[in-house]
Amino acid sequence: MSKVNQDELFRVVEYSADAAERIGYSNYSYWRSVWHNFLKKKSAVFMAIVFIVLVVFTFIALAIGKYQYTELVSNRETTFLGPCAEYWFGTDNLGRDYWCQVWYAAQVSIKLALVVAVGEAIVGVAIGCLWGYVRWLDRPLTELYNVINNIPTVIYMTLVALIVGQGFGIMATAMIAIGWLVMARNVRNLVLMYRDREYNLASRCLGTPVWRVLVKNIFPYLISVIILRLALSIPGTIALESTLSYLGLGLGAATPSLGLLLRNARNFFLDYPYLLIEPAVIVSLITVTFYLVGNAVSDAADPRNHV
Amino acid sequence: MAKYTVKRLLQSLLTVFIIVSIVFVLMRMLPTDYYFTEEQQMKYDEETKHDMLQAAGLLDPIPTQLFRFYRGLLRLDFGESRRIQTGVSVWSIVAGKFTISMRLGLIAMAISLAVGVILGVLQARQKDRLMDHVGTVYTVFVNSVPPLVSYSLVLAFGARILKLPSLYSNRNPGPSSILPIACLALTSIAHYALWTRRYMVDESTKDYIKLARIKGMSSQSIMVRHVLKNAFVPLAQYIPASLLLTLGGSLLVERFFSVPGMGTLMTDAINRYDTNVVQGCVFLYASLGIIGVFLGDILMMILDPRIKLAGGGETR
Residue of A nearest to B145 (CA): A284
Which residues of chain A lie closer than 8 angstroms to B289, CB-CB? 150, 152
Residue of A nearest to B156 (CA): A270
Other beta carbons within 10 Å of A307: 10
> Distance between CA atoms of B268 and A181, rounded to whole angstroms?
28
State how far the alpha carbon of A122 is from the alpha carbons of A181, A215, B18, B165, B229, in Å: 12, 14, 27, 46, 41
pLDDT band at B311 (very low <50, low <70, confident <90, very high): very low
Which residues of chain B lie closer than 8 angstroms to A287, CB-CB? 144-146
Q: What is the pLDDT of residue A20?
A: 64
Which residues of chain A lie closer than 8 angstroms to B273, CB-CB? 162
Q: Quick check: B312 pLDDT over 80?
A: no
Q: What is the pLDDT of residue A118?
A: 92
Residue from the list B26, B145, B255 with its beta carbon closest to the beta carbon of A247: B255
Q: CB-based burial of residue B220 (10 Å sphere; 0-12 exposed, 13-18 middle, 19+ buried)? A: exposed
Residue from the list B15, B26, B251 with its beta carbon closest to the beta carbon of A150: B15
Instruction: Give the least confident one: B39-53, B84-98, B100-114, B299-313.
Output: B299-313
Q: Does B256 touch chain A (CB under 8 A)?
A: yes
Q: Quick check: A119 pLDDT over 90?
A: yes
- Site from A109, A246, A261 to mutate, B interface, most B CB atoms within 10 angstroms: A246
Please give, rounded to a whole number of angstroms, the shortest distance from the CA of B168 to a CA of chain A: 14
Please give, rounded to a whole number of angstroms, the shortest distance from the CA of B67 to a CA of chain A: 21
Please give, rounded to a whole number of angstroms, the shortest distance from the CA of A78 to a CA of chain B: 24
Q: What is the pLDDT of residue A124?
A: 92
Please give, rounded to a whole number of angstroms, the shortest distance from the CA of B125 to a CA of chain A: 24
- Site from B144, B162, B297 to mutate, A interface, most A CB atoms within 10 angstroms: B144
Residues in chain B: 316
Which residue in A168, A295, A280 sits closest to A230, CA to CA? A295
Residue from the list B146, B149, B159 with its beta carbon closest to the beta carbon of A270: B159
- Are residues B146 and A276, on separate chains, in Cβ contact within 8 Å? no
Which residues of chain A lie closer than 8 angstroms to B23, CB-CB? 151, 155, 159
Average pLDDT over residues A197-205: 86
Amino acid identity of residue B270, one-letter, is I
Q: What is the pLDDT of residue B216?
A: 87
pLDDT digits (tens, 9 = 90+) for B266-303: 878 877 777 788 888 888 887 887 788 888 888 887 88
Q: What is the pLDDT of residue A117?
A: 92
Instruction: Give the least confident one: A173-187, B19-33, B34-48.
Output: B34-48
Which residue in A92, A110, A102 sits closest to A233, CA to CA? A110
Q: What is the pLDDT of residue A115?
A: 92
Which residues of chain B lie closer than 8 angstroms to A247, CB-CB? 251-252, 255, 267
Q: Does B10 touch chain A (CB under 8 A)?
A: no
- Are residues A158 and B160, on separate chains, in Cβ contact within 8 Å? no
Residue from the list B145, B159, B256 with its beta carbon closest to the beta carbon of A287: B145
Q: What is the pLDDT of residue B34?
A: 65
Residue from the list A158, A273, A288 with its beta carbon closest to the beta carbon of B267: A158
Residue from the list B16, B30, B140 with its beta carbon closest to the beta carbon of A292: B140
Q: Does B26 touch chain A (CB under 8 A)?
A: yes
Q: What is the pLDDT of residue A1?
A: 47
Other beta carbons within 10 Å of B224: 12
Q: What is the mean pLDDT of chain A?
A: 81
Q: Could you write out the three-class secondary structure of A284-297?
A: HHHHHHHHHHHHHH
Residue from the list B30, B160, B252 with its beta carbon closest to the beta carbon of A243: B252
> Distance between CA atoms of B206 and A155, rounded to whole angstroms?
43
State how far the alpha carbon of B133 is from the alpha carbons of A30, A167, A271, A291, B222, in Å: 31, 41, 34, 16, 23
pLDDT band at A4 (very low <50, low <70, confident <90, very high): low
Q: What is the pLDDT of residue B289?
A: 78
- Are residues A243 and B30, on separate chains, in Cβ contact within 8 Å? no
DSSP state of B44: S
pLDDT band at B32 (very low <50, low <70, confident <90, very high): low
Q: Quick check: A66 pLDDT over 60?
A: yes
Which residues of chain A lie closer than 8 angstroms to B255, CB-CB? 246-247
Q: Across-strand partners of A91?
A: A97
Q: What is the mean pLDDT of chain B?
A: 79
Average pLDDT over residues B98-113: 86
Average pLDDT over residues A195-204: 85
Whether the CB-CB separation of A178 and A155 falls below 8 Å is answered with: no
- With a cut of 0.85, is the ipTM above it? no
Q: Quick check: B173 pLDDT over 90?
A: no
pLDDT band at A8 (very low <50, low <70, confident <90, very high): low
- Are residues B153 and A146, on separate chains, in Cβ contact within 8 Å? no
Q: Does B179 touch chain A (CB under 8 A)?
A: no
Residue of A nearest to B142 (CA): A288
> Distance between CA atoms of B111 and B109, rounded to whole angstroms?
5
Q: What is the pLDDT of residue A120?
A: 92
Instruction: Give the least confident one: A147-156, B88-97, B156-165.
Output: A147-156
> Distance between CA atoms of B271 and B261, rounded to whole angstroms?
15
Instruction: Give the least confident one: A79-88, A275-284, A291-300.
Output: A79-88
For residue B80, report the phi and psi dihedrals to the nearest 5 degrees: -115, 155
Q: Does B147 touch chain A (CB under 8 A)?
A: yes
The count of CB pairs under 8 A between chains A and B is 114
